[in-house]
């Protein structure tokens, strides 16, 4: 195990050993609340507060990109009252975070399908994205109404349209072509995928992009995720030997 912080946060982990892009599956809000005899919405509210804390911590650590799984395309199967609350919570988060976003020089991007998201939520989201457009700091990517399979389907449709129009030949399609038609076009793939609440699955999240991501799972539910857990995840990442299918350096 790597030593604890000495002179400051993660001072024992040099910048070059830290992940440039962290993706997070923020699971366990409802379970956290139910274990405490609270309504599920209390867990979502606490989870939103943790998003704010972790975003600022990642920015302070110099993380280049943070991608958060806010709402999956499968989450629409939940009870209507919970979905309505999540939409209102998302809208309020987007409004409330404008000042911290600008103060921390963050750039905001939405990943997912806009269809089904209420217009009043999209309007506030678009305002925040436009407001942050000139910033130069960490990318904060919000995966909303997102599904990895749906993303790939949308990319295939776009590529097929280019082929149909004669702008692209099938034999010229490469991995870069596919990457360039994903919601994440222009962004680097995640180095580290963090999942809370102990679930050992990726839940249709960034299926193309996490091909070589290091995966770290904690039993903590998302409302319990804090600075110490973030540091633990980064230290675990720094201790791994990333070979991308190659052999270890025996020199």
Domain assignment present for 180: no
Residue 75 is a catalytic residue: yes
Query: Does 240 carry a binding-site annotation?
Result: no
Query: Does 135 carry a binding-site annotation?
Result: no
Domain assignment present for 3: no
- At residue 175, the pLDDT reads 98
**What CATH code is carried by the domain that includes residue 199?**
3.40.1180.10
Range of the domain at 45: 17-146+192-238
Domain assignment present for 205: yes
Catalytic position from the list 12, 75, 135, 226:
75
pLDDT, tens digit, 9 for 90 and up, residues 23-67: 999 999 999 999 999 999 999 999 999 999 999 999 999 999 999
Catalytic position from the list 27, 104, 141, 191:
27
Residues 69 and 84: beta-carbon distance below 8 Å: no
Domain assignment present for 83: yes
Number of structural domains found in the chain: 1
Q: What is the pTM of this model?
A: 0.91
Query: Does 214 carry a binding-site annotation?
Result: yes
Domain assignment present for 84: yes
Domain assignment present for 107: yes
A 10 A CB-CB count for 218 gives 20
| Residue 22 host element (H or E) | strand 21-25
Query: Does 28 carry a binding-site annotation?
Result: yes
Long-range contacts for 55-62 (Cβ within 8 Å, ≥24 apart)?
Answer: 55/100, 55/104, 55/106, 55/140, 56/100, 56/104, 57/227, 57/230, 58/22, 58/138, 58/230, 59/104, 59/105, 59/106, 59/137, 59/138, 60/9, 61/9, 61/10, 61/18, 61/234, 62/15, 62/18
Query: Does 171 carry a binding-site annotation?
Result: no
**CA-closest candidate to residue 107, choices 53, 186, 45, 180:** 186
Average model confidence (pLDDT) across the chain = 93
Query: Does 120 carry a binding-site annotation?
Result: no
Q: What is the mean pLDDT of each run of 10 residues along the chain (251 residues)?
A: 53 94 96 95 94 97 97 87 91 96 98 95 97 98 97 98 98 98 97 97 97 98 98 97 66 50
Domain assignment present for 119: yes
Query: Does 123 carry a binding-site annotation?
Result: no
Domain assignment present for 68: yes
């Amino acid at each position: 195990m790597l030593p604890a912080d000495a002179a400051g946060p993660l001072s024992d982990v040099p910048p070059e050993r830290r992940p440039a892009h962290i993706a997070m599956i923020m699971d366990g809000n409802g379970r956290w609340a139910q274990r405490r005899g609270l309504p599920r919405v209390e867990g979502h509210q606490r989870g939103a507060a943790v998003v704010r804390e972790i975003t600022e911590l990642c920015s302070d650590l110099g993380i280049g990109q943070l991608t958060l799984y806010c709402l999956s395309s499968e989450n629409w199967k939940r009870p209507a009252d919970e979905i309505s609350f999540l939409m209102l919570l998302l809208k309020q988060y987007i409004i409330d975070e404008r000042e911290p976003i600008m103060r921390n020089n963050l750039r905001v991007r939405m990943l997912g399908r806009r269809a089904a998201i209420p217009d009043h939520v999209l309007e506030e989201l678009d305002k925040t994205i436009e407001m942050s457009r000139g910033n130069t700091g960490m990318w904060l990517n919000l995966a909303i109404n997102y599904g990895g399979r749906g993303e790939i389907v949308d990319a295939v449709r776009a590529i097929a349209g280019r082929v149909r129009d004669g702008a692209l030949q099938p034999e010229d399609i490469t991995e870069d072509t596919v990457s360039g038609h994903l919601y994440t076009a222009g962004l680097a793939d995640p180095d580290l995928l963090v999942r809370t609440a102990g679930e050992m699955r990726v839940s249709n999240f960034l299926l193309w992009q996490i091909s070589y991501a290091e995966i770290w799972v904690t039993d903590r539910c998302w409302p319990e995720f804090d600075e110490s857990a973030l540091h633990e995840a980064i230290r675990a990442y720094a201790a791994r030997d990333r070979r991308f299918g190659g052999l270890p350096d025996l020199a």
